[in-house]
């Protein structure tokens, strides 16, 4: 058995919420916040049999898409009258960060 921890970007979670349960995967959601962009994420905890891991990986890949966005960097503090016009920075967002852990023991208590 495996425990899959998937951090899914907020824009992708709707599709994942529909697709995984339809395929028979049960999941637990934990709201989380991204570190660099401070964007909303959802961390999913998914227990699955080893034989279904490839299917889960495929569904996550199909529903968590990476895309390019442009953001303005944070404006530094300047004195009165100073002007700072930041240029937008290209960043990759979306997709999922996934960890797969072996489960030694599982019990419903």
Q: Indicate the length of the chain as a whole number.
A: 109
Residue 21 lies in a domain: yes
According to DSSP, the β-strands at 66-71 and 89-94 are antiparallel
pLDDT in tens, 24-61: 999 999 988 765 556 688 999 999 999 999 999 999 99
Domain presence at residue 72: yes
Mean pLDDT in residue range 98-106: 94
Note down the domain range covering 95: 2-102
Instruction: Please tell me the least confidently modeled range out of 1-5, 32-36, 67-71.
Output: 32-36
Name the domain count of the chain: 1
Does 108 map to a domain? no
Q: Is residue 85 part of a domain?
A: yes
> Rg of the chain's alpha carbons, rounded to an integer?
19
Q: CATH number, domain at 10?
A: 3.30.70.120
Residue 17 lies in a domain: yes
Tell me the two tokens of residue 35. 């570190």
Asked if residues 15 and 9 have their Cβ atoms less than 8 Å apart, the reply is: no
Residue 7 lies in a domain: yes
pTM score, two decimals?
A: 0.76
The angle, 0 to 180 degrees and rounded to 10, between the axes of the packed helices 53-63 and 13-22 is 150
């Amino acid at each position: 058995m495996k425990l899959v921890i998937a951090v899914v970007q907020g824009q992708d979670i709707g599709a994942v919420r529909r697709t995984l349960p339809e395929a028979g995967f049960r999941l637990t959601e934990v709201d989380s916040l991204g570190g660099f962009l401070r964007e909303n994420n959802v961390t999913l905890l998914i227990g699955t049999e080893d034989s279904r891991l490839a299917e889960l990986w495929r569904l996550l890949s199909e529903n968590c898409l990476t895309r390019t966005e442009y953001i303005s960097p944070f404006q530094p503090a300047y004195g009165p009258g100073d002007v700072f016009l930041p240029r937008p920075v290209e960043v990759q967002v979306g997709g999922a960060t996934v960890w797969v852990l072996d489960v030694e023991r599982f019990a419903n208590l």
